Amino acid sequence: ALEDGRLLAECHAANQSDFEPWLEEKGWEVESITPIRHMARTGEIWKIG
């Protein structure tokens, strides 16, 4: 959440369409959803989707 109350989200799901119903269920108004293409952990990188 940003200081002005807006909510930005990162989609870690394989498809954004899998993520959007969950946001609606929570009742959150999201200004933007950023798709995540890669995730990294020390020594490892995973391609998403």
pLDDT in tens, 26-35: 988 888 888 8
Smallest Cα–Cα separation from 1: which of 38, 37, 26? 26
10 DSSP β-pair partners: 34
According to DSSP, residue 8 is labeled E
Q: Give me the pLDDT at residue 33, please.
A: 84
CA–CA separation, 24 and 22 (whole Å): 5
Residue 19: count other Cβ atoms within 10 Å of its Cβ: 18
Q: Give me the pLDDT at residue 37, please.
A: 78
Q: Give me the pLDDT at residue 45, please.
A: 72
CA–CA separation, 34 and 11 (whole Å): 6
Average pLDDT, the chain: 81
pTM, 2 dp: 0.52
At 19, which helix (H) or strand (E)? helix 16-26
